[in-house]
Amino acid sequence: MEKSFIVYGIGFLLTYIFFKFRKGLVSGMNSKSLLNKVVVITGASSGLGEALAHQFYKEGCIVVLCARRRQELDRVKNDLVSLPCSTPNHTPIIVPLDLSDINSLPGVVDKILSITKKIDILVNNGGISHRGSVLDTKLEVDMKIMTVNYFGSVALTKAVLPSMVKEKCGRIVFISSVQGLIAIPYRSSYAASKHALQAFADSLRAEISHHNIGVTVASPGYVKTALSMNALTATGKTYGKMDTDTEEGYTCEYASQAILKAVLEDQKEVVIANVTAKIGIFLRNFIPSLYFVAMVKRAKKLMQK
Protein backbone atom coordinates (compact mmCIF):
# COMPACT_ATOMS: atom_id res chain seq x y z
CA MET A 1 0.00 0.00 0.00
CA GLU A 2 2.78 2.41 0.96
CA LYS A 3 4.73 1.49 -2.18
CA SER A 4 1.69 2.19 -4.40
CA PHE A 5 1.15 5.53 -2.69
CA ILE A 6 4.76 6.53 -3.37
CA VAL A 7 4.55 5.41 -7.00
CA TYR A 8 1.36 7.37 -7.62
CA GLY A 9 2.77 10.37 -5.75
CA ILE A 10 5.83 10.41 -7.97
CA GLY A 11 3.60 9.85 -10.98
CA PHE A 12 1.47 12.86 -10.09
CA LEU A 13 4.50 15.10 -9.68
CA LEU A 14 6.05 14.00 -12.96
CA THR A 15 2.71 14.28 -14.74
CA TYR A 16 2.36 17.88 -13.59
CA ILE A 17 5.84 18.68 -14.90
CA PHE A 18 5.14 16.77 -18.12
CA PHE A 19 1.97 18.69 -18.98
CA LYS A 20 3.38 21.98 -17.77
CA PHE A 21 6.17 21.97 -20.33
CA ARG A 22 4.70 20.04 -23.27
CA LYS A 23 2.43 22.89 -24.46
CA GLY A 24 5.26 24.65 -26.25
CA LEU A 25 5.60 28.31 -27.05
CA VAL A 26 2.60 30.61 -26.87
CA SER A 27 2.08 32.93 -29.80
CA GLY A 28 0.52 35.78 -27.84
CA MET A 29 -2.72 35.83 -29.82
CA ASN A 30 -5.77 37.47 -28.32
CA SER A 31 -9.50 37.33 -28.86
CA LYS A 32 -9.38 40.25 -31.28
CA SER A 33 -7.53 38.02 -33.73
CA LEU A 34 -10.67 35.89 -34.11
CA LEU A 35 -12.90 38.77 -35.16
CA ASN A 36 -14.51 38.04 -38.56
CA LYS A 37 -12.73 34.68 -38.87
CA VAL A 38 -14.65 31.94 -40.66
CA VAL A 39 -14.96 28.94 -38.35
CA VAL A 40 -16.41 25.65 -39.62
CA ILE A 41 -17.58 23.30 -36.86
CA THR A 42 -18.72 19.72 -37.43
CA GLY A 43 -21.03 18.04 -34.95
CA ALA A 44 -22.40 21.51 -34.18
CA SER A 45 -25.97 20.35 -33.54
CA SER A 46 -25.41 19.42 -29.89
CA GLY A 47 -22.95 18.85 -27.05
CA LEU A 48 -19.40 20.09 -27.36
CA GLY A 49 -19.85 21.22 -30.96
CA GLU A 50 -22.77 23.42 -29.97
CA ALA A 51 -20.79 24.86 -27.06
CA LEU A 52 -17.86 25.60 -29.38
CA ALA A 53 -20.22 27.40 -31.74
CA HIS A 54 -21.25 29.62 -28.83
CA GLN A 55 -17.64 30.36 -27.91
CA PHE A 56 -16.54 31.33 -31.42
CA TYR A 57 -19.72 33.25 -32.13
CA LYS A 58 -19.20 35.40 -29.03
CA GLU A 59 -15.70 36.20 -30.32
CA GLY A 60 -17.19 37.75 -33.46
CA CYS A 61 -16.51 34.83 -35.80
CA ILE A 62 -18.50 33.84 -38.86
CA VAL A 63 -19.64 30.43 -37.62
CA VAL A 64 -20.55 27.69 -40.10
CA LEU A 65 -22.67 25.03 -38.39
CA CYS A 66 -22.32 21.52 -39.81
CA ALA A 67 -24.04 18.27 -38.83
CA ARG A 68 -26.63 15.83 -40.18
CA ARG A 69 -29.67 17.12 -38.27
CA ARG A 70 -30.90 20.27 -40.00
CA GLN A 71 -33.60 20.93 -37.41
CA GLU A 72 -31.07 20.94 -34.56
CA LEU A 73 -28.73 23.19 -36.54
CA ASP A 74 -31.61 25.64 -36.95
CA ARG A 75 -32.14 25.56 -33.18
CA VAL A 76 -28.45 26.26 -32.50
CA LYS A 77 -28.48 29.10 -35.04
CA ASN A 78 -31.51 30.70 -33.38
CA ASP A 79 -29.88 30.37 -29.97
CA LEU A 80 -26.74 32.08 -31.23
CA VAL A 81 -28.59 34.95 -32.87
CA SER A 82 -30.42 35.62 -29.60
CA LEU A 83 -27.18 35.89 -27.61
CA PRO A 84 -26.21 39.33 -26.27
CA CYS A 85 -22.72 39.97 -27.68
CA SER A 86 -20.32 42.82 -27.03
CA THR A 87 -18.48 42.19 -30.31
CA PRO A 88 -19.88 42.58 -33.85
CA ASN A 89 -21.56 39.33 -34.80
CA HIS A 90 -22.48 37.56 -38.00
CA THR A 91 -25.52 35.45 -38.77
CA PRO A 92 -24.44 31.80 -38.47
CA ILE A 93 -24.40 29.76 -41.66
CA ILE A 94 -25.91 26.28 -41.81
CA VAL A 95 -24.39 23.66 -44.12
CA PRO A 96 -25.58 20.11 -43.36
CA LEU A 97 -23.09 17.30 -43.86
CA ASP A 98 -22.68 13.61 -43.12
CA LEU A 99 -19.14 12.60 -42.16
CA SER A 100 -19.83 9.00 -43.12
CA ASP A 101 -20.48 10.10 -46.73
CA ILE A 102 -16.81 10.66 -47.55
CA ASN A 103 -17.32 11.41 -51.25
CA SER A 104 -19.75 14.25 -50.52
CA LEU A 105 -17.37 16.24 -48.33
CA PRO A 106 -15.37 18.07 -51.05
CA GLY A 107 -18.68 19.35 -52.42
CA VAL A 108 -19.66 20.53 -48.94
CA VAL A 109 -16.42 22.49 -48.67
CA ASP A 110 -16.98 24.01 -52.13
CA LYS A 111 -20.43 25.13 -50.99
CA ILE A 112 -19.02 26.73 -47.84
CA LEU A 113 -16.28 28.52 -49.81
CA SER A 114 -18.83 29.81 -52.33
CA ILE A 115 -20.52 31.58 -49.41
CA THR A 116 -17.60 32.60 -47.18
CA LYS A 117 -14.73 32.78 -49.75
CA LYS A 118 -12.33 31.36 -47.15
CA ILE A 119 -12.10 29.08 -44.12
CA ASP A 120 -9.86 30.30 -41.31
CA ILE A 121 -10.50 27.55 -38.76
CA LEU A 122 -11.83 24.03 -39.22
CA VAL A 123 -12.99 22.30 -36.05
CA ASN A 124 -13.27 18.54 -36.61
CA ASN A 125 -15.61 17.72 -33.75
CA GLY A 126 -18.22 15.33 -35.16
CA GLY A 127 -17.96 11.69 -34.12
CA ILE A 128 -19.50 8.62 -32.49
CA SER A 129 -18.41 6.43 -29.60
CA HIS A 130 -18.41 2.71 -28.87
CA ARG A 131 -19.36 0.34 -26.06
CA GLY A 132 -18.44 -3.31 -26.52
CA SER A 133 -15.74 -5.97 -26.27
CA VAL A 134 -13.31 -6.72 -29.08
CA LEU A 135 -14.57 -10.30 -29.21
CA ASP A 136 -18.21 -9.31 -29.66
CA THR A 137 -17.92 -6.16 -31.78
CA LYS A 138 -18.81 -6.74 -35.41
CA LEU A 139 -16.28 -5.58 -37.97
CA GLU A 140 -18.83 -3.30 -39.62
CA VAL A 141 -19.11 -1.41 -36.32
CA ASP A 142 -15.34 -0.89 -36.24
CA MET A 143 -15.46 0.32 -39.83
CA LYS A 144 -18.36 2.70 -39.26
CA ILE A 145 -16.72 4.33 -36.26
CA MET A 146 -13.40 4.63 -38.07
CA THR A 147 -15.14 6.09 -41.12
CA VAL A 148 -16.90 8.82 -39.16
CA ASN A 149 -14.26 9.64 -36.54
CA TYR A 150 -11.13 9.28 -38.65
CA PHE A 151 -11.75 9.19 -42.40
CA GLY A 152 -14.53 11.77 -42.21
CA SER A 153 -12.29 14.28 -40.44
CA VAL A 154 -9.35 13.46 -42.71
CA ALA A 155 -11.43 13.85 -45.88
CA LEU A 156 -12.86 17.16 -44.71
CA THR A 157 -9.40 18.42 -43.73
CA LYS A 158 -7.96 17.46 -47.11
CA ALA A 159 -10.80 19.30 -48.84
CA VAL A 160 -10.22 22.47 -46.78
CA LEU A 161 -6.42 22.56 -46.88
CA PRO A 162 -5.92 23.88 -50.46
CA SER A 163 -7.87 27.05 -49.64
CA MET A 164 -5.81 27.57 -46.47
CA VAL A 165 -2.56 27.02 -48.36
CA LYS A 166 -3.70 29.60 -50.91
CA GLU A 167 -4.40 32.10 -48.12
CA LYS A 168 -1.14 31.18 -46.34
CA CYS A 169 -2.92 30.94 -42.99
CA GLY A 170 -5.41 28.85 -41.09
CA ARG A 171 -5.89 26.37 -38.28
CA ILE A 172 -7.12 22.80 -38.18
CA VAL A 173 -8.56 21.69 -34.83
CA PHE A 174 -9.14 18.03 -34.09
CA ILE A 175 -11.36 17.12 -31.14
CA SER A 176 -9.80 13.85 -30.08
CA SER A 177 -10.13 12.30 -26.63
CA VAL A 178 -8.07 11.14 -23.67
CA GLN A 179 -8.82 7.73 -25.17
CA GLY A 180 -6.77 8.79 -28.16
CA LEU A 181 -3.81 8.86 -25.76
CA ILE A 182 -4.69 5.90 -23.55
CA ALA A 183 -7.00 3.10 -24.66
CA ILE A 184 -9.35 1.60 -22.09
CA PRO A 185 -11.29 -1.69 -22.13
CA TYR A 186 -14.56 -1.92 -24.07
CA ARG A 187 -13.80 1.19 -26.13
CA SER A 188 -11.48 -0.40 -28.73
CA SER A 189 -13.11 1.05 -31.87
CA TYR A 190 -13.45 4.55 -30.44
CA ALA A 191 -9.93 4.58 -28.99
CA ALA A 192 -8.45 3.28 -32.25
CA SER A 193 -10.16 6.03 -34.27
CA LYS A 194 -8.87 8.71 -31.93
CA HIS A 195 -5.35 7.22 -31.84
CA ALA A 196 -5.35 7.40 -35.63
CA LEU A 197 -6.52 11.01 -35.56
CA GLN A 198 -3.69 11.93 -33.17
CA ALA A 199 -1.09 10.40 -35.50
CA PHE A 200 -2.56 12.08 -38.58
CA ALA A 201 -2.54 15.45 -36.80
CA ASP A 202 1.10 15.09 -35.77
CA SER A 203 2.17 14.35 -39.34
CA LEU A 204 -0.02 17.13 -40.73
CA ARG A 205 1.30 19.70 -38.26
CA ALA A 206 4.89 19.17 -39.38
CA GLU A 207 4.05 19.15 -43.08
CA ILE A 208 2.01 22.37 -43.25
CA SER A 209 3.83 24.54 -40.73
CA HIS A 210 5.67 26.38 -43.53
CA HIS A 211 2.27 27.41 -44.95
CA ASN A 212 1.52 29.22 -41.68
CA ILE A 213 -1.25 26.73 -40.87
CA GLY A 214 -1.49 25.52 -37.28
CA VAL A 215 -2.83 22.24 -35.95
CA THR A 216 -4.38 21.89 -32.51
CA VAL A 217 -5.45 18.56 -31.00
CA ALA A 218 -7.82 18.75 -28.04
CA SER A 219 -8.13 15.61 -25.91
CA PRO A 220 -10.99 15.95 -23.45
CA GLY A 221 -11.69 13.41 -20.76
CA TYR A 222 -15.31 12.79 -19.84
CA VAL A 223 -17.59 15.63 -20.94
CA LYS A 224 -21.29 15.68 -20.09
CA THR A 225 -22.76 15.14 -23.57
CA ALA A 226 -24.97 12.57 -25.29
CA LEU A 227 -21.88 10.77 -26.64
CA SER A 228 -22.48 7.63 -24.59
CA MET A 229 -26.23 7.76 -25.34
CA ASN A 230 -25.50 7.70 -29.07
CA ALA A 231 -22.59 5.25 -28.88
CA LEU A 232 -22.72 2.06 -30.93
CA THR A 233 -22.79 -1.31 -29.19
CA ALA A 234 -20.99 -4.44 -30.38
CA THR A 235 -23.90 -5.23 -32.71
CA GLY A 236 -24.24 -1.68 -34.05
CA LYS A 237 -27.30 -0.73 -32.03
CA THR A 238 -27.50 2.54 -30.11
CA TYR A 239 -26.22 2.20 -26.53
CA GLY A 240 -28.92 4.53 -25.21
CA LYS A 241 -27.55 5.03 -21.69
CA MET A 242 -25.71 7.83 -19.94
CA ASP A 243 -22.52 6.51 -18.34
CA THR A 244 -21.84 7.58 -14.76
CA ASP A 245 -18.43 8.95 -15.77
CA THR A 246 -20.03 10.96 -18.57
CA GLU A 247 -22.78 12.24 -16.30
CA GLU A 248 -20.15 13.46 -13.85
CA GLY A 249 -17.83 14.85 -16.54
CA TYR A 250 -16.84 18.40 -17.39
CA THR A 251 -19.52 20.71 -18.72
CA CYS A 252 -19.47 21.46 -22.42
CA GLU A 253 -18.93 25.12 -21.58
CA TYR A 254 -15.79 24.35 -19.59
CA ALA A 255 -14.32 22.11 -22.28
CA SER A 256 -15.16 24.55 -25.08
CA GLN A 257 -13.53 27.43 -23.20
CA ALA A 258 -10.35 25.37 -22.79
CA ILE A 259 -10.34 24.58 -26.51
CA LEU A 260 -10.89 28.22 -27.45
CA LYS A 261 -7.97 29.17 -25.20
CA ALA A 262 -5.78 26.55 -26.91
CA VAL A 263 -6.62 28.05 -30.31
CA LEU A 264 -5.90 31.59 -29.13
CA GLU A 265 -2.58 30.53 -27.62
CA ASP A 266 -1.53 28.44 -30.63
CA GLN A 267 -1.23 25.32 -28.48
CA LYS A 268 -0.30 22.21 -30.40
CA GLU A 269 -2.35 20.05 -28.05
CA VAL A 270 -4.41 20.39 -24.93
CA VAL A 271 -5.58 17.70 -22.52
CA ILE A 272 -8.78 18.57 -20.67
CA ALA A 273 -8.98 15.90 -18.00
CA ASN A 274 -8.74 15.19 -14.30
CA VAL A 275 -5.63 14.09 -12.42
CA THR A 276 -6.44 10.39 -12.69
CA ALA A 277 -6.56 10.54 -16.49
CA LYS A 278 -3.35 12.55 -16.67
CA ILE A 279 -1.58 10.05 -14.44
CA GLY A 280 -2.83 7.31 -16.76
CA ILE A 281 -1.36 9.13 -19.76
CA PHE A 282 1.94 9.55 -17.95
CA LEU A 283 2.08 5.88 -16.97
CA ARG A 284 1.32 4.75 -20.53
CA ASN A 285 4.19 6.87 -21.83
CA PHE A 286 6.79 6.31 -19.13
CA ILE A 287 5.83 3.32 -16.96
CA PRO A 288 3.70 1.21 -19.34
CA SER A 289 3.89 -1.93 -17.19
CA LEU A 290 1.84 -0.21 -14.46
CA TYR A 291 -0.63 1.05 -17.03
CA PHE A 292 -1.12 -2.47 -18.43
CA VAL A 293 -1.82 -3.85 -14.94
CA ALA A 294 -4.30 -1.05 -14.23
CA MET A 295 -6.19 -1.73 -17.48
CA VAL A 296 -6.43 -5.47 -16.74
CA LYS A 297 -7.95 -4.64 -13.35
CA ARG A 298 -10.35 -2.21 -14.98
CA ALA A 299 -11.43 -4.82 -17.53
CA LYS A 300 -12.09 -7.38 -14.81
CA LYS A 301 -14.10 -4.87 -12.81
CA LEU A 302 -16.25 -4.02 -15.84
CA MET A 303 -16.83 -7.71 -16.59
CA GLN A 304 -18.33 -8.15 -13.13
CA LYS A 305 -20.97 -5.46 -13.64
| Alpha helices by DSSP H, 96-241 | 105-116, 139-146, 153-167, 188-208
8 in active site: no
Long-range contacts of 74-79 (CB under 8 A, 24+ apart): 75/45, 76/44, 76/45, 76/46, 76/50, 79/54
Q: Which of 190, 222, 250, 291 is catalytic?
A: 190
CA 189 from chain centre, in angstroms, equals 16
Question: Hey, what amino acid is at 134?
Answer: V
Of the candidates 243, 254, 260, 292, the residue with the CA atom closest to the CA atom of residue 129: 243
Question: Hey, what amino acid is at 21?
Answer: F
Residue 41 backbone phi and psi in degrees, to 5:
-125, 120
Start-to-end CA distance of the chain, whole Å, equals 26
CB 181 within 8 A of CB 281: yes
Q: Rounded to an integer, what distance in angstroms lies between the CA atom of residue 235 and that of residue 140?
A: 9
Instruction: Give residues with Cβ within 8 angstroms of 210, minimum separation 6.
Output: none
SS3 assignment, position 85:
coil
| Residues forming the active site | 190
